Chain A
Amino acid sequence: MKKTNWLLLVLALVLSMFLAACSGGGDEGSSSSGDSGSDSSGDASGDSKQVLNIMDSAEIPTMDASLATDAVAFQFLGSTMDGLYRLGENAQPEPGIAEESEVSDDGMTWTFHLRDAKWSNGDPVTANDFVYAWQRAVNPDTGSEYGPYMMGGVIKNATAISNGEKPVDQLGVEAVDEHTFKVTLEKPIPYFKSLTTFGTFLPLNKKFVEEKGDKYALEADTLLSNGPFKITEWNHGEGWTLKKNEDYWDADNVKLNQINVKVVKDTATGVNLYETGEVDRVNLSAEFVDQYRSSDDFKVEEEPTLFYLKLNQKANDVLGNVKARKAMQMVIDRQSMVDVILNNGSIPADGDIPKNFVKDPESGKDFREVNGELVSYDVDKAKQLWNEAKEELGKDKITLEYLGGDTETAKNLDAYIKDQLEQLDGLTVKVTSVPFKERLQRDTNMNYQIQNAGWGPDYIDPNTFLNMWVTDGANNKTGYSSKEYDQLIEQAGNEYALEPEKRFENFYKAEKMLIQDDAVLVPLYQRARAQLWKPYVKDVQVNPMGPDYSYKHAYIEGK
């Protein structure tokens, strides 16, 4: 019996040591973040403190610009780093580390003249930092997903290097001197300047990155900043703190002293934190929108992200019939869909380019305004087209499979669309709800008939939405193939690369062809975010790509 007790004591000690070790980590985290918590509540008490309290729905996966792929990472890379340019008002690139730039007559060579700027460790930001970062992003050893994607076909040799066919030093980038950075492109890229604002194109301090090795960008102290803010504290899974970077070249124009970010996944929790004044902004889900719609704090932010039904023309002869596809475009009441099902400010989509995304280079009018509504809601016409299609196909009863999402909103939306589509005589729609990655896999294998899909832009140009649908495009996966369409896109990318008006003419034609003539997609809606913002937060800039928000000029007034 004594022996038993002794053994039990040892076991109990082992367990308690294990638990103590585990919760010890948590205690450290909580005590250090306790400090930041008291900072935040103390500092936020007056305008002069200039502290912004926000939340994000996920932990930052990485702060390594070469490896970043998601919205949270790009958001905080954008807040702590400056690239050649950064997104300014109306999504126009404004000078960052590059004071100015010039492009050769053939549009193939860009020369950037860099200003005197410093990293947060005091090192100067030089042209070599860009050369190193861009080479690192396409180097297959880095394992970057976005490097090859964003630079391939844009920067000379990027694709060959990322496929391991050429050495990294063959990339079309060169440090002419410390303050001059030269880039050679594969072909003229009219939107190249806006591309340089994207996270993957940020510079890296080679000495620092190599010194930190595998640990680079994993913790607050293994990060360097050359932008408006720097991360001073990072409690993984819990939150992080940004403080103003006094070494930033434009520090005089940065008003906020601190940004506290907390990870909060649950919308109701976010709303409660907003109500108690812990956070200054919260995203609302549909069920909260009605409750807060009349509040002064309520805002709707339009996003250039489009959702549509992708129709696999190869999977089913019905979907291969253009009249049937057109009928499906016309039978869905998009307005009711956004008003009732989504209820978050989203707007009906009537083309493949979102509203307020790009402007006509000549007239300055919105692309959407110029090209007009390419789909309309007309049930009678839809039924007529559907009957014609059935006659052509010699079918009466048709069953189609619909691949939808597994979230609550997606299920509601998919049920609504099924109901709308089934207004077409003899049509039965079978909905399968799957997780996002399952849908992606089925898309890759073209193992679907109809799917609900979406796309957000990677740069500010119609090309990001329209070149997806060229024959054998990596994301096409609809079986759509049109020589004329391919030619329009190809011409816009090459022959007309330096002639913006002609280029846009091609995009207008291509979009009409894609949506109106060939009915490749069924546009559904353009997403928006319904939010509550504390009225004392001013001048936060909302971006259509890259970082969702820019806090460079934001400030607190009247709190």
Chain B
Amino acid sequence: MTRYIIQRLIYMLITMFLIATFTFFLMKFLPGTPLTAADKLSEEQQAVVLEKYGLNDPVPVQYFDYMVNLVQGDLGISFQFDNREVTTILMERVGPSIQLGIQAMIIGTILGMLLGLISAIYHNGFLDYGSVFVAVIGKSIPSFVFAGILQYFIGVKLGWFPVALWEGWQYTVLPTVALAIFPIAVAARFMRTEMLEVMGSDYITTARAKGVNKFGVVFKHGVRNALIPLITVLGPLAVSLMTGTLVIENIFAVPGIGEQFVKAVNTNDFPIIMGTTLLLAFLFIFIILVIDLLYGVIDPRIRLAEGE
């Protein structure tokens, strides 16, 4: 087990290195310069400013410098926010995104699982159709449409929650709901399918034959077995929710990282592009590791490494 984790951590480092390298060179293909007033500057003046950022050096030299700094934990200085450290900007921006992502994930998973369970228990009944309907709606309506509807009816018309901005817990309600609708749908669909399959298995029949009641079977045997595929899907979904959704952040004026990343690409803010990519990549591979380890806990038959 320890060997497996150490091995995975080494793979993580290699993956991060490859991502950093790939992103760095890909970034250099972006058209334009990071200068905001490039159209107004003479070539000499542009060269003077680019020199300040080290962008006049050959690309391999820039790459080497960046990697050396990166190893020392220095992500550099932003181009669009002069002199502000990338680390500071990322830490400021990632907080709201992660907070919204986690809230949406928790609400989405719990509600989705409940819906899925209800569907499975009352298979082909009214409640089953009802929750399938909710899942279909959640999966098919784009989150920005849902966000707009929530904002207008709940925020403007009913005035129950703030329309937008980021000034306290009540400001997180509408964006969380808008974000949660998708995980609700995903969790509900997976839970329903898996539960139906599990419920038809021999060991469930055995359990029922032994006299375990319906709910006992569902919760003691069914849920646990249905969790594996669900976790497989929800893991990457959790990362994508936590790493910021541009549309939701824009609609609810959330100062999150998704919006910042897009702005960085549009302005050729190389250090922010790199910093954000690395942060998101780290979150992603870290969560994949956690999920792999979780498999073993949920179902001890899943072995993590050969010979263990």
A residues with CB within 8 A of B? 1, 3-5, 7-8, 11-12, 15, 19, 21-27, 29-31, 33-34, 36-37, 58-59, 61-62, 64, 67, 69-70, 140-141, 143-146, 148-149, 152, 162-164, 214-216, 218, 235-239, 262-266, 268-269, 272-273, 275-276, 278, 435-438, 440-441, 443-444, 458, 474-475
Contacts and interface: CB of A to CB of B under 8 A. Distances in A.
Interface of B: 1-2, 5, 30-33, 35-42, 44-45, 48-49, 51-53, 80-84, 89, 91-96, 98-99, 102, 148, 151-152, 155-156, 159, 162-168, 171, 250-253, 255-256, 259-260, 263, 266-268, 286-287, 289-290, 293-294, 296-297, 300, 304
Contact of A7 (B5, B40, B259, B287): B5
B45 A276 contact: no
A144 B268 CA distance: 17
20 contacts: A3-B1, A4-B296, A4-B297, A15-B290, A22-B95, A23-B98, A25-B91, A29-B166, A29-B255, A34-B168, A36-B167, A58-B263, A143-B48, A145-B35, A237-B92, A266-B250, A273-B163, A273-B165, A276-B156, A475-B40
A444 B40 CA distance: 11
8 A-B pairs with least C-beta separation:
A26-B95, A437-B32, A237-B255, A143-B52, A37-B167, A238-B255, A34-B168, A145-B37
A26 B169 CA distance: 11
A1 B51 CA distance: 57
B48 A438 contact: no
Most buried by B among A23, A27, A215, A239: A23
A62 B81 contact: yes
Nearest to B293: A8
Contacts of B37: 69, 145-146, 149
Nearest to B81: A61
A29 B92 contact: yes
Contacts of A276: 155-156, 159, 163
Most buried by A among B93, B252, B255, B260: B255
Nearest to B242: A19
Contacts of B156: 272, 275-276
Nearest to A147: B45
Contacts of A22: 91, 94-95, 98
State the majority secondary structure of interface residues on A.
Answer: helix
A29 B266 contact: no
B2 A272 contact: no
Nearest to B49: A143
A432 to B, nearest CB: 13
Contact of B151 (A146, A269, A441): A269
Contacts of A164: 48
Contacts of A275: 156
Most buried by B among A34, A145, A218, A444: A145
Nearest to B152: A272
Contact of A149 (B41, B94, B166, B290): B41
A437 B297 CA distance: 51
Contacts of A272: 151-152, 155-156, 163-164
A227 B198 CA distance: 71
A62 B39 contact: no
Contacts of A262: 165, 253
A276 B151 CA distance: 11
A264 B166 contact: no
A437 B31 CA distance: 7
Most buried by A among B41, B83, B168: B83
B222 to A, nearest CB: 23
A523 B149 CA distance: 40
Given A1-B300, A7-B5, A8-B294, A29 B95 contact: yes
Given A19-B98, A62-B82, A67-B82, A269 B163 contact: yes
A276 B156 CA distance: 6
A257 B92 CA distance: 28
Contacts of A236: 81, 84, 89, 92-93, 255
A145 B41 contact: yes
Given A34-B167, A37-B167, A62-B82, A25 B151 contact: no
B98 A264 contact: no
